[in-house]
Amino acid sequence: MDIEDLLKLAEEDKALADKDTAHLTINLNKVVSKNLVPGLHIDTRELKDGVEVKVRLDDGVVIEKKVHMCFGVTREKALQRIRMDVDIGKNAGISVLSHCIFPKATKVKHIMDAKIKVGENSFYSYEEKHIHSMEGGIEVYPKAVVELNKKARFKTIFELIKGRVGKLDINYSITGLEESVMEMMSKVSGRKDDVIRIKEGGNLIGEKARGVLTSRVAVRDNAKAEVYNIMRATAPYARGHVDCKEIIQDNGVATAIPVVEVKHPKAHVTHEAAIGSVDSKQLQTLMSRGLDEEEAVELIISGLLS
Amino acid sequence: MSILEVKNLSLSLNGKRILDDLSIDFWEGHVHAVVGPNGAGKSTLAYTIMGLEGYRSIEGDIFFDGVSIKNLGVAERAKHGITLGWQEPARFEGLTVKQFIMASAKEKKVETVRDVLSKVGLKPEDYIGRAVDKTLSGGERKKIELASILAMQPRFVMLDEPDSGIDVASLEKIFEGIKMLKSYDATVVLITHSLAVMKQAEHAFLLCGGKLVEKGDIGKIEPYFEEECLPCEHKNVPDKGGVDGY
Ligand SMILES: Nc1ncnc2c1ncn2[C@@H]1O[C@H](COP(=O)(O)OP(=O)(O)O)[C@@H](O)[C@H]1O
Ligand SMILES: [Mg+2]
């Protein structure tokens, strides 16, 4: 298997052939291909066990087409360390679609260490889709520290679309200044002895800053999930919401620890958390239409994670 | 010919007798109404016939095509063609209208989904991609529920309060849906306390305090609506607000 196969797996081959679509493809610690568009700069440095990536977007540049990034490991065993430095100028914006593909992994460790700065009145959207092997021998550590300037918007979605999650440890921390908006969402399901740990922290330090932290997790067999959502609001009219839903089956174990902290009388943070088996009314409705219990459960969970 | 027969059916929940020695014959291909005041046991009867979890420890028996179904689970009963339209339909986060209807449909085609949506008065292009969640109004979910039942083509369908949350203009669409079910030769049971809905049926069963107190053609049951459960000694029992689990 080579990188071409990986890209086909992610259905990325077409986007990468388009001259007007910016992209960056990395296989283990090698930059395989790169395409830039005006106003976007991506500098890379290959390291022993990974790649350092610097992304810079000039002031006033808004890129319409999604920027495609691909971090792959074709081997069975490897360590991949990605250091990302993202700097979005003022009045600018990009959306990144990132695929992390480890289809053969029996023992692969993928570490993503990101520093992201989003300039005044700009936006940065980062959609991260994972394709893993069915072995479960994979460890993924996405870590990001995000700073949002005034009126900046940041949105991130983490999603496992194929394979077993293995061990996942997400750690995101976002700080938002005046009128900034943060949205973070993780959608993961675990089985067998998978372990999922999600830590999402939002700090609303500017007036009228807003944020939503959402997690949707399903665990079955002996899988475990822990979700820590922390939303702090310290400025007037800051608004935050934490929303965590976890479905468990078999011997799965799920924990949710939502922390909401408000340090200004005019700030407001709400949270909702629900952990349990599949909702009985949903299940019985689908069964009353003729679906078997397993089919009904699959459908409900696929909806939750869609 | 009866398609479904309830025989000496009793059910207690949390030590309280909710259905009390009910015997009802539902004739095949007819539209029936089960009427009665709030708390009479109408929804409970429907849940029991459907075999929902928590409604299975019955006394008496339920026969479908002459064979007892009391030991069958919900999915097995549904596979025989029995289904239930809920008084308050479930919400499904992330599930689209298309996925929901397709899951129920006998013929799993997008055309089926479009077709049944139009039949309940919802524009397919506006609804097919939407999620069956809290972004839909109660009335919209009710129509989508009916659409999913039309797609399923059941043989025996119970509609619990089919008019609840439905505005007057849309009520006609619901009635058309009922007629369509009948045109497929389905047996329909309308559970209602509305006279307009009862009038869609050919005959009615009057339930009160978990007991069958009257049955017959609509004309015979109609005075009940005017005189508020006259034949029923439980008429002064106020609605306790439904402790039902669904
Ligand atoms: N799980 C339960 N435990 C105890 N009482 C119940 C339960 N479910 C329903 N009931 C009671 O049974 C009666 C019938 O309820 P229901 O079937 O919902 O009535 P209807 O649909 O006719 O309004 C009501 O008095 C209700 O409070
Ligand atoms: Mg009821």
Interchain pair B95, A287: CB under 8 A: no
Please tell me the predicted confidence (pLDDT) of residue B234. Answer: 54
Evaluate if residue A197 carries a pLDDT over 60: yes
Say whether pLDDT at A39 is over 70: yes
Q: Could you tell me if B102 lies within 8 Å of chain A, comparing CB atoms?
A: no
| Spatial distance between the Cα atoms of B58 and B55, rounded to a whole number of angstroms | 7
A289: CA distance to ligand 1 center in Å? Answer: 23
Q: Give the number of the atom of ligand 1 that is nearest the alpha carbon of residue B191.
A: 21
The residue whose CA is least distant from atom 12 of ligand 1 is B18
Q: Which of chain B's residues have a Cβ under 8 Å away from the Cβ of A293?
A: 75
What mean pLDDT is predicted for residues A41-52? 96
Give the CATH number of the domain where residue B50 resides. Answer: 3.40.50.300
How far is B190 from B178, CA to CA, in rounded Å? 9
For residue A282, list chain B residues with Cβ-Cβ distance below 8 A.
90-92
Helix A293-304 crosses helix A280-287 at what angle (to 10 degrees)?
130
> Residue B53 is nearest to which of A216, A280, A300, comparing CB atoms?
A280
Per cent of chain B over pLDDT 90 is 78
Assign 3-state DSSP to chain B and report helix, strand, coil percentages, each to 5: 35, 30, 40
Min CA distance, A13 vs chain B (Å)?
Answer: 27
Domains: count for chain B: 1
pLDDT confidence of residue A2: 73
DSSP state of B93: T
Output the pLDDT for position B236.
42
- Give me the residue label for tokens 């997400």: A170
Give the H/E segment covering residue A196. Answer: strand A195-204
pLDDT score, position B244: 44
In the DSSP assignment, the letter for residue B183 is: H
The torsion defined by the Cα of A14, A15, A17 and A20, in degrees rounded to 10, comes to 150
Confidence band, pLDDT 50/70/90 cuts, at residue B167: confident
Residue B164 lies in a domain: yes
Q: Do B74 and A304 touch (CB under 8 A)?
A: no
The Cα of A293 is separated from the nearest Cα of chain B by a number of Å equal to: 7
Q: Are A187 and A150 in contact (CB under 8 A)?
A: no
Residue B124 in domain: no
The reply to whether B38 falls in a domain is yes
Strand partners, B88: none
pLDDT, average across residues B175-202:
93
Q: What is the pLDDT of residue A3?
A: 73
| Contact predicate A265/B56, CB 8 Å | no
Residue B211 lies in a domain: yes
Nearest beta carbon to residue A288 from set B78, B92, B131: B78
* Tens digit of each residue's pLDDT (9 = 90 or more) over B69-111: 999 999 999 999 999 999 999 999 899 999 999 999 999 999 9
What pLDDT does residue B241 have? Answer: 42
Residue B32 lies in a domain: yes
Q: Is B194 helix (H, G, I), strand (E, B) or coil?
A: coil
Give B83 to chain A, closest Cα distance, Å.
5
Q: Is 50 exceeded by the pLDDT of residue B178?
A: yes
The span from the CA of A88 to the CA of B203, in Å, is 71
Least confident among A39-48, A54-63, B225-234: B225-234
Handedness of CA A287, A292, A293, A299 (dihedral sign): negative
Residue with tokens 């310290």, as numbered in its chain: A234
pLDDT at A228 (0 to 100): 96
User: What is the least distance, in Å, from the CA of A108 to any CA of chain B?
Assistant: 32
Q: What is the pLDDT of residues A97-122, one digit of tens each?
A: 999 999 999 999 999 999 999 999 99
- Residue B246, chain A, CB below 8 Å: the answer is yes
pLDDT at B165: 85
Dihedral of the CA atoms B194, B195, B197, B198 (nearest 10)?
110
Four-point Cα dihedral B125, B131, B134, B136, nearest 10: 10
Domain containing residue B7: 2-87+156-245
Query: Is residue B139 in a domain?
Result: no
Chain B positions touching A305 (Cβ under 8 A) are 94
- CB-CB under 8 Å, A284 with B152: no
The pLDDT of residue B29? 95
Residue B242 has pLDDT above 80, yes or no: no
Q: Which ligand is nearest to the CA of B19?
A: 1
Supply the pTM of this predicted model: 0.83
Closest CA to A126 of A170, A99, A84, A156: A156
β A40-46/A253-262 pair status = unpaired
Q: CA gyration radius for chain A? A: 20
Mean pLDDT, range A235-259, rounded to an integer: 95
Domain ranges of chain A: 1-101+116-129, 165-306
Answer whether B199's CB lies under 8 Å from B174's CB: no
Alpha-carbon distance of B36 to B232, in angstroms, equals: 9
Q: Which residues contact B126 (CB under 8 A, 6 or more apart)?
A: none
Compare all CA atoms of chain A with the CA of B147 and give the residue at the minimum distance.
A289
- Those residues whose C-beta lies under 8 Å from the C-beta of residue A285, and which sit 6 or more positions away, are B86, B89, B90
Q: What is the rounded average pLDDT for all residues in chain A?
A: 94
pLDDT the model gives residue A17: 86
Instruction: Find the B191 Cα to ligand 1 centroid distance in Å.
Output: 14
